[in-house]
A and B are shown apart, each in its own frame.
Chain A
Amino acid sequence: MSAADARDAYAVETIDLSKHFGAVRAVDELSVSIPHEGITSIVGPNGSGKSTLVNLLSGVLPLDGGLVILDGVRLRVVKAHETPEHGVTRTFQEVRLFDQISVRDNIMVVLTSRRLLPALLERTTVAHTERTEQILREVGMWEKRDSLAQELSYGQRKLLEIGRALALDVRTYLFDEPFAGLFPEMLERVKEIVVRMRDEGRTLIFISHNMDIVRELPDHLIVLDSGRLLTEGEVHDVLSREEVIEAYLGD
C-alpha cells in the first residue's frame, strides 16, 4: 500500500466538527472516520445531528468549527460546488429536484461542463443523451423521461434524485434518508441500487431510521446522539451494545 492509498483509506473524516443553531449544538465536536469500503449507515434519534452532519460534509451548511477531511483533503471551509472534486455527492432528506424541468434534463444537467465558457458553447452531445438514458434505465425512470420532475410520485422523486447523484461519477455518495416513506416495492428498488453501487466499489453513506434496513445493509454503523458520537463499529456488534440500546433502541 502506497502512502497515497493510506491517506485515502477514509472517504470522509471529521475532526472536532461543530455546528450550532443558536444555543442548540446540532453537531458537537464530532470526530468520525468513515472508511471507503462498503456501506456505512448513520443512525441516531431525531435531532441527533445526522442531517446536519451530511449538510456540513457537502458544503450546504458552513462549519462553525473543526475540520472536514474529504478523500484525504483537509478543509476548514467546505464549498458545495467543490465537493464533487473531492469525490463526494449527495441526496437530500426532503427530495430536492429541479421541479419545473423534465426528468431527462434533471439528469443531463449534472453531466455537462462546469466551466462557464465551455458550457456556453456546449450543445447536448450523444454522450450526454446515452449516459442519461443509462442512468434513467438504471433507476427505472426511463418511461418518465419527458415528464416534469414535479409530476412524479414521491417514490419516483426519490429514485430520480438517487439517479441524479449516480450521474455524477464520484467515489462517495451521501444519501440522506433514501428509504424513508417508500412503499415496499420502491424500497426494494432503492436497496438493489445501493447494493449494486457497493458491488461497483463505490462508498455509500446513508442515514436511516428503518432498523430492518440498518440490520441488513450496512457494514459499518455510526450512532449519533445530541450531535456527539455515541459509538461506531461493525453493525451487529454496535447494535448489541448497551448504550445504543438504551439511547436509541430501548423502550
Chain B
Amino acid sequence: MELWANLIVLTWAVAFMLWQGVGFAITLGTVFAIWAILAVSLNLVVGFTGLLSIGHIGFFGIGAYAMAFLTSDASYEQLRTEAIPTLGWPFFAALPVSVVLAGVTALLVGIVFNRFRDDIFVLVSFGFAIIAFSVFLNLRSVTRGAFGIHEIERPAIGGWVLDGEVEFLVFALICLALVVLVCWLIVTSSFGRVLTAIREDEEAIAVFGYQVTHYKLAVWVISAMMAGLAGGLFGSWTTFIDPNSFILLESMLLVCIVILGGLATIWGSLLGAMAFVLLDEGMRFLPFIPSEFVGQARQIVLGILLVLLMLFRPQGLVGRYRL
C-alpha cells in the first residue's frame, strides 16, 4: 500500500505535468512547496506530539501579513481612507520578521494553550483560527481588512529580483528543503523521541523527569515559525493577500493533508501535499464537473477522501500511527 501510494501520487504528478505543460507545473510546484511547508510543520504538532491543532492557518496568515505590511509599496493607496504606512522593506528583511512574529505569537498563545489537551485542545486551536481571521479582517490600519494588501515584494538577491516563476519555484523548494531538514533533525533527535512519548502518554513521560509543557511549547513555537515562513513566501509569491486566504476551511484542509499523508511521517506530509495540490488543481480540468461547481468540488472530494481514509486506512497513505 505504501509503495502503491507513492507510485500513484508521483506518476500522477508526472502525468499531470506532461499533460498541462511545464509552465503550469511550475505554478503547481510553488503551490505544492508552500502547502508542503505547512503540512510538514503541522505534522510536528499533530502527528509527532499528538496535539490536533486546527489553528495552524493563523500562523501562516501572520507570516503573510508581516511580509505584506513590511514590503508592500503602498503608493497606490493614496485614494484609500485607510492608508497603511509605506515601509517598502526588502523581502529578505521581512522574511525573518514573518518567522519571528509567528513564533512570538505562538509562544504567547501556547502559554495559555499548554494546559489543554485532546478534544479541548482542538476547540481552543479552533478559537485561535477564528480570532486570527477576525484580526486580519478588522485590524484595518495594518491589514487593510477585506481590501487586502497589494504589491507585496518579490525576493531580490542583490539586483536580481526573483520575478520569474521558475526562480521563485526554486527559492520556494529551497525553503521547503530547509524546513524538511530541520523537521527531520528534530524528529530523529532525543527531543523528537520525547515528543512521541508525550503523544502516547504525557503523564507517564512526566514521571521520568521530562517537563512536558516545555516540550509541547517548544515544538508548537517551532512549528508556527515554519508556518510563518510559508506565509511570507505565499504573500510574496501572490503579491496580494486578503483575509480569505486564511479562513478556517484552509486550516481544515491542512489537517486533512497531514492525515491523508500520514501522521508522524515527514515524507507522508510531502506526499499528502502533492496529492492535495494535484487533486485541487486537477479538478478544474475534469470536463464533467461544471465550472461553477469546481470551487466546492475540491472540498467535497477532500471531505469524502477523509471519511474513506478514516474508514479504511486511518494511518494515512504512508503513515504508521493513528489518531
Contacts and interface: CB of A to CB of B under 8 A. Distances in A.
A250 B186 CA distance: 57
A83 B204 CA distance: 12
Interface stretch (B19-27, B29-37, B138-146, B205-213): B205-213
Contact of A112 (B186, B194, B196, B206): B194
A66 interface: no
A146 B102 CA distance: 38
Contacts of A85: 209
Contact of B218 (A58, A116, A124): A116
B190 interface: yes
A80 B207 contact: yes
B200 A122 contact: no
* A82, A83, A85, A109 interface centre (most CB from chain B within 10 Å): A109
Interface string A115-129: 010011111100000
B197 interface: yes
B215 A116 contact: yes
A184 to B, nearest CB: 28
Given A60-B207, A89-B208, A109-B194, A98 B200 contact: yes
B203 A96 contact: yes
B153 to A, nearest CB: 33
Given A81-B209, A100-B321, A119 B203 contact: no
Nearest to B212: A81
A177 to B, nearest CB: 16
A98 B321 CA distance: 12
Contacts of B190: 112-113, 119-120, 122-124
A132 B310 CA distance: 35
A123 B188 contact: yes
Interface in B210-241: 210-212, 214-215, 218
A60 B202 CA distance: 11
Interface in A80-96: 80-85, 89-90, 92, 96
Given A119-B189, A122-B190, A58 B200 contact: no
User: Contact size class for A?
Assistant: 20 to 34
B250 to A, nearest CB: 29
B207 A83 contact: yes
Interface string A222-242: 000000000000000000000
A167 to B, nearest CB: 8
A98 B209 contact: no
Contact of B207 (A89, A100, A113, A123): A89
B201 interface: yes
Contact of A98 (B188, B189, B197): B197
A168 interface: yes
Contact of B189 (A58, A81, A92, A123): A123
B271 to A, nearest CB: 20
A108 B190 CA distance: 9
Given A81-B211, A114-B209, A120 B204 contact: no
A92 B203 CA distance: 11
B199 to A, nearest CB: 8
B117 interface: no
A100 B319 CA distance: 12
A81 B214 CA distance: 11
Given A116-B191, A119-B189, A110 B208 contact: yes
A101 interface: yes
A96 to B, nearest CB: 4
B191 A98 contact: no
Interface in B146-167: none
A109 B204 contact: no
A59 interface: yes
Contacts of A113: 190
Nearest to A96: B204
Interface of A: 58-60, 80-85, 89-90, 92, 96-101, 105, 108-110, 112-114, 116, 119-124, 164, 168
Interface of B: 186, 188-191, 193-194, 196-197, 199-201, 203-212, 214-215, 218, 320-322
A-B CB proximity, top 9 nearest: A112-B190, A98-B200, A84-B209, A119-B191, A122-B190, A80-B206, A110-B208, A96-B204, A120-B191
30 contacts: A60-B203, A81-B206, A81-B207, A81-B209, A81-B210, A81-B212, A90-B207, A96-B203, A97-B201, A100-B196, A100-B200, A100-B321, A100-B322, A101-B197, A101-B200, A108-B193, A109-B193, A109-B197, A109-B205, A110-B209, A112-B190, A116-B214, A116-B218, A119-B190, A119-B191, A120-B189, A120-B191, A122-B189, A123-B189, A123-B190
Given A82-B209, A109-B205, A116-B214, 8 more contacts: A84-B208, A98-B197, A98-B204, A109-B193, A109-B197, A110-B209, A122-B190, A168-B209
